Structure 1
Amino acid sequence: MASTDFPAEIRSLRNTFQTIEKVSDVERIRADIEMLSEEAGVPDLWDNPAAAQVVTSKLSHRQSELERLESIGSRIEDLEVLVELAADEGDADSLAEAEKELVSVRKALADLEVVTLLSGEYDSREAVVTIRSGAGGVDAADFAEMLLRMYLRWAEKRGYPTRVMDTSYAEEAGLKSATFEVNAPYAFGTLSVEAGTHRLVRISPFDNQGRRQTSFAAVEVIPLIEQNDSVEIPENEIKVDVFRSSGPGGQSVNTTDSAVRMTHIPTGIVVSMQNEKSQIQNRAAALRVLQSRLLLVRKEEQDAKKKALAGDVKASWGDQMRSYVLNPYQMVKDLRTEHEVGNTSAVLDGEIDDFINAGIRWRAEGRRA
């Protein structure tokens, strides 16, 4: 096996890193940190907890961006020193260590490069994700619950806080639908490529004849609204119904009519919330999600007008974007990017970064085209 050309590899890493630094605008990040630090230091900041949370969240994110960039820059410097020392001393163990670090830094740069592609209008927002079971009966409901776990595990591994806002349980097993927030900067830009129809093929555990079953679930991802978003909804455009929360027995939420179903009459958009303990909390959560959906509808209408003027009437997303095949073979494949993985258990346990990164690159290429 040919030995690694470390000087060439390190030059390649440096060139990629310099491009990322330029696109990321490091000086702008530092200026933002300085400005946000001043805002965070104002004595009466927490008199308005919601506004304070926005400031501290943005500051934390910008600091993390800078630390990540500086960390990779330092790793490239350290790698070059390690290679030079190992070569001077003929240290095979150190060269092997350098080989591993080279692979690791290359992967970190690739992940960082993907982040620079998140430049959409709402990409920097937190996200609200809704999963709905589709065709396939009880298997589809079970699949919806599998997807909910997959995304929650993905967020947990990344250290992203999540909050399940609504769960509607199916009669036999699984979920009719579930809605949750991912409270991390760029969660919307990152997860928006997961929106679409997901397909599961497996031997149904609910079929006593052990037949193979195909089922579907839909994933919707919308940006969470911020205080400065002007999404005013007149009261006469909203219909609110209250009902008793459903779910596994014994929950305190089942004892009162605290669940809320909010319907936006002009568009027909329906939002249900039941996981908070009071009707007031569920109503506030439902309104926030409804505003977020209307915000995205507004953007989609604007984009549609632009596409119509440009003469581009092609749909961006197919009805089925990813297949999870558990039988007769094991494979998860994204039908847009062609990225596929044979370890289905890892994917369903939240190992979906490679799918997300491939999706972000695919979307960026589509925008450039």
Structure 2
Amino acid sequence: MNPDVEADIKDLSATLSSIEAVMDLDALRAAVADLETQATRPDLWDDQEKAQKVTSQLSHKQGELRRVTGLRSRLDDLPLLYELAEEAEDAEAQADADNDRAKLREEIASLEVRTLLSGEYDERNALVTIRAEAGGVDAADFAEMLLRMYSRWAERHQYGVEVFDTSYAEEAGIKSATFRVTAPYAYGTLSVEQGTHRLVRISPFDNQGRRQTSFAGVEVVPVVEQTDHVEIDEKDLRVDVYRSSGPGGQGVNTTDSAVRLTHIPTGIVVSCQNERSQLQNKATAMNVLQAKLLERRRQEEQAKMDALKDSGSSWGNQMRSYVLHPYQMVKDLRTEHEVGNPSAVLDGEIDDFLEAGIRWRKQSQQA
């Protein structure tokens, strides 16, 4: 075998070994066995919420175990593929082995990023809010472009997306939108998207065809669970009900079923209009509010830790630029990762940005 190929396989094996150690495969197998036992209990579905949690966790952990053991099996087989190709002097088989090695390198790197997601809430689903900021109608249009970008990203990975509330702008685009992404490690993965996104382009809304810079803000918080115990006193809440509306004022429901909650002590406002009843909308809005209060508490705790470490750095402000004119580029201002195809990025191809952001954050935390 070529010495360079042999060294590369050895390097990949060492990386995978460190991933296996972090994932603790023995503990993972034990967790799978325990969840399989729970899933076969005849009374499992007496508590539907618990049953869904058990089956979801089982599916996720089985998938993780299959993923890492599959990579190890393929990597162990790779030297044999090269050996057979060399013995047969088969150039096509050699090329196939090279392709397998390149795919393994990519998949192992992706799995390595997953092991960097070790925060308290990283495994959870994500609650994402996008808001149009400076830039008028262009900003509202940009906010809608970002909503589509994340929706397409989730669709590519077959992750669930549920939009809780959308506030449409008058001329085009959206003022804001809040949605949940249901996926393993959705919060840990998407949390690096938090901050201000910047778009530079020739404005389609300017009849003089001038270049416009607009901004949209992205907020990402973990979805709360029953164990979080975020207490909300009813007297701290103002509840407003109103009629749901779609683009151009088109009615979604004919009754005043939409609900807006204002948490008076913090000023946090959340809305929900996607359910059919006022009661359901209020329950969903309460979950969103709890998530935001939980994130506020986490940020306050993090601020205390940062003060103790005398860390003045912040990664939650302007974080990515999307330039459509006078050249084509998307660049992350923290990681320096950039690509020259904004159309693909805005169509949901953001995995490289997510991975770069996760690695950058981990390095920043260790600094």
* TM-score where L is the length of structure 1: 0.96
1:1-369 counterparts in 2 under 5 A? 5-248=4-247, 253-312=252-311, 314-317=312-315, 319-369=317-367
Alpha-carbon separation, structure 2, partners of 1:295 and 1:248: 31
- CA 1:192–1:46 in 2, change beyond 3 Å: closer, same or farther? same
Displacement of 1:126:
0.5
Deviations 1:256-309 (A, max 9, x none): 111111011111110011122211111111100100111111111112222223
Structure 2 residues without counterparts, runs of 5 or longer:
none
- SS of residue paired to 2:285: helix
Distance (Å, rounded) in 1 between the aligned partners of 2:160 and 2:39: 21
Query: Is the 1:123–1:188 Cα contact (8 Å) retained in structure 2?
Result: yes
Distance (whole Å) between structure 2 residues aligned to residue 40 and residue 292 of structure 1: 28
**Equivalent residue letter for 1:281:** Q
CA contact (8 A) 2:131 2:175 kept: yes
Structure 2 counterpart SS, 1:241: strand
CA gap 1:252/1:213 in 2 versus in 1, 3 angstroms: closer
Q: Distance in 2 between matches of 1:89 and 1:304?
A: 62
Distance across 2 between alignment mates of 1:251 and 1:138: 20
1:316 counterpart letter in structure 2: S
The Cα shift of 1:105 comes to: 0.7
- Name the count of aligned residue pairs: 366
Q: Which letter maps to 2:133?
A: G
RMSD: 1.4
SS in 1 for 2:206: coil
CA offset digits 1:136-162 (Å, max 9, x no partner): 000000000000000000011111111
Q: Which amino acid aligns with 1:358?
A: A
Instruction: Tell me if structure 1 keeps the 8 A contact 2:163–2:178.
Output: yes
CA contact (8 A) 2:194 2:219 kept: yes
Shift of 1:77: 2.1
Instruction: Give, in angstroms, the shift of residue 251 of structure 1.
Output: 6.2
- Residue by residue, what CA displacement relative to the aligned partner does 1:230-261 show, whole Å, maximum 9, x if unpaired? 11211111111001112136966231111111
Rounded Cα–Cα distance in structure 1 between residues aligned with 2:46 and 2:248: 40
Any idea what SS the aligned residue of 1:119 has?
coil
Q: Which runs of 5+ in 1 are unaligned?
A: none
Deviations 1:166-204 (A, max 9, x none): 111000000000111011121000000000000000000
Report which stretch shifted further, 72-81 or 99-108: 72-81
Provide the identity percentage. 64
CA distance in structure 2 between the aligned counterparts of 1:350 and 1:4, rounded to whole angstroms: 39
Secondary structure in structure 2 of the residue aligned to 1:336? coil
| Secondary structure of residue in 2 paired with 1:215 | strand
- Give 1:99's aligned amino acid: D
CA distance in 1, matches of 2:184, 2:108: 19
> 1: distance between equivalents of 2:148 and 2:57?
27
Distance in structure 1 (CA, Å) of the matches to 2:245 and 2:105: 48
**What is the SS of the residue equivalent to 2:95?**
helix
Counterpart of 2:252 in 1: which secondary structure?
A: helix
In 2, the alpha carbon distance for the partners of 1:81 and 1:366 equals: 40
Residues 92 and 231 from structure 1, CA distance in 2 versus in 1: closer, same or farther, beyond 3 angstroms?
same
Q: Secondary structure at the match of 1:240?
A: strand
Q: 2:190 and 2:300 mapped to 1: Cα distance?
A: 21
Distance 1:145 1:4, change over 3 A: farther
Shift of 1:50: 1.4
SS at match of 2:318: coil
Once the two structures are superposed, what CA deviation does each residue of 1:39-85 show, in whole Å capped at 9, x if it has no partner? Answer: 22222221221121111111111111101101111221232221110
> TM-score, normalization: structure 2?
0.97
The offset of 1:342, in angstroms, is 0.3
Q: CA deviation at 1:103?
A: 0.9
The CA distance in 2 between the partners of 1:182 and 1:367, in whole Å, is 25
Contact 2:194/2:316 (CA < 8 Å) preserved in 1? Answer: no
Q: Retained in 2: the 8 A contact 1:6–1:83?
A: no
Separation (CA, whole Å) in 2 of partners of 1:353 and 1:20: 20
- Matched residue of 2:147: which SS? helix
Alignment partners' CA distance in 1, 2:357 and 2:125: 18
> Residues 167 and 275 of structure 1 are in contact (CA less than 8 Å); yes or no, is this contact kept in structure 2?
no
User: Which residue identity does 1:129 align to in structure 2?
Assistant: V
